[in-house]
Amino acid sequence: MKLKRTALVFLIFIIVLSFSLRAYSLMEPINEVDPSEIKVQIEKGMTGRAIAEKLEAEGVIKSSTIFYLLLRFKGINNLQAGYYSFSTSDTPLEIIDKLQRGEEERFKVTIPEGFTLAEILDRFAALERPQYERELLAAEINKQAAELELETSLEDSPLSIDQLYLAEGIIIPNTYNFPMSYQESDIAEDLISYFKEERLPLIREAAESADYSAYELLIIASLIEEEGKLAAENKIIASVIYNRLEQGMPLQLDATVQYALPERTSRVLYRDLEIDSPYNTYQIEKLPPTPIASPGNQALKAAINPAESDYLFYFARGDGSHIFTESYDEHLQKQRELN
């Protein structure tokens, strides 16, 4: 009898030991020697069991059962959805930690100074992964930009709201780092929130002591961005813009004509100056209805704090710099001297 009891205890010990060794082996990484990356999407609403089964099916873990038991044993129910990049050298505990902290895969998008909203939308639409619908992203960005309630004069524009990019000039040039799970609305929210935090207070404060609204300062900054090639000239270009506005003169800026054209050209021709558009500052004696690009910090600073000058005219030299003059006669004379 004693012998049978000893044999039974030994058998139970062997079974427990075998199970423990098996469970331990299933807790190990898939491949530590030659690890590889595996990308997995964890969708919103997935249960812990569903996540475990997907990770096993994708080759991230050895056993969905062990993974799920770990979740239950630790009382974990806050795994976050998203796109993740796991290594086959990750242990189940490391994978759980990543999912709890939401360490999902991210992607970068760089928006250079002077980009138009159309160019920004094209950059997102050109991404291979994740993929974004251009028109949906445009609608989301414009909708959230409208909620900023900037003081505009868009109702006076001959163009309808549908023909205008309300968010033109709003998106700050920068390198953005987004989670792969972001939808169009999430991208728009981040872009507009960044403007709301970083620039909106600045231009609203500047507008309090200026003759122009915060939105008009943003428009002027975009004109400076597109007209000026050298940061050192930005404040002088700003002074020309303000001087012409104060005297009721058309701004006559080639950059606004470029914006109005269906496609950008290497140079503005005389026939382009006849284009019928509220952006054609050769024909209107005020600012265009919206910014024409996303201005950088230097252009915005110049719009807020322009140089003091009596300049009313300038033209570009071959190296991108400009010659500034106070009268049209002097303007023509300088051009003849260079030619």
Query: According to the model, what pLDDT value does residue 17 have?
Result: 44
Task: Give me the chain's average pLDDT, please.
Answer: 86
- The average pLDDT across 109-138 equals 94
| Phi, psi values for residue 272, rounded to 5° | -70, -25
Domain range summary for the chain, segments of one domain joined by +:
25-101, 106-200, 229-338
The Cα–Cα gap between 331 and 226 comes to: 21
pLDDT tens, residue by residue, 180-237: 989 999 999 999 999 999 999 999 999 999 999 999 999 999 999 999 989 999 999 9
Which CATH number applies to 25-101: 1.10.569.10, 3.30.465.10, 3.30.1490.480, 3.10.520.10? Answer: 3.30.1490.480
Confidence band for 116, pLDDT divided at 50, 70 and 90: very high
Strands (E), the chain: 37-42, 82-87, 106-111, 174-179, 313-316, 322-325
Query: According to the model, what pLDDT value does residue 158 have?
Result: 47
| Selected residue with higher pLDDT from 8 and 82 | 82
How far CA 199 is from CA of 111, 150, 179, 206, in Å, comes to: 16, 12, 23, 11
Query: According to the model, what pLDDT value does residue 29 have?
Result: 66
Range in 33-47, 95-109, 117-131, 204-218 the model is least confident about? 33-47
Instruction: Specify the amino acid at residue 23.
Output: A
Instruction: Specify the amino acid at residue 13.
Output: F
CA atoms within 13 A on the CB side of 172: 18
Token pair 């609203």 is found at 204
Query: According to the model, what pLDDT value does residue 182 have?
Result: 92
Considering only CA atoms, give the Rg of the chain: 31
Whether the CA torsion 323, 324, 330, 331 is positive or negative: it is positive
What would the DSSP string read from start to end of 295-314? --HHHHHHHHSPPP----EE
pLDDT tens, residue by residue, 19-51: 444 444 455 666 666 788 888 888 888 998 999
Is residue 2's pLDDT more than 60? no
pTM of the entire predicted model: 0.80
**DSSP 8-state class, residue 315:** E
User: Residue 12: which H helix or E strand, with range?
Assistant: helix 2-26
Nearest CA-CA partner of 295 in 119, 151, 125, 116: 116
Confidence band for 107, pLDDT divided at 50, 70 and 90: very high
The Cα–Cα gap between 79 and 95 comes to: 10
Q: Is the Cβ–Cβ distance between 168 and 290 less than 8 Å?
A: yes
pLDDT tens, residue by residue, 258-305: 999 988 877 887 788 889 999 999 999 899 999 999 999 999 999 999
Confidence band for 132, pLDDT divided at 50, 70 and 90: very high
The Cα–Cα gap between 181 and 317 comes to: 47
Burial of 222 (0-12, 13-18, 19+ CB in 10 A): buried
| Residues pairing with 109 in the sheet | 176
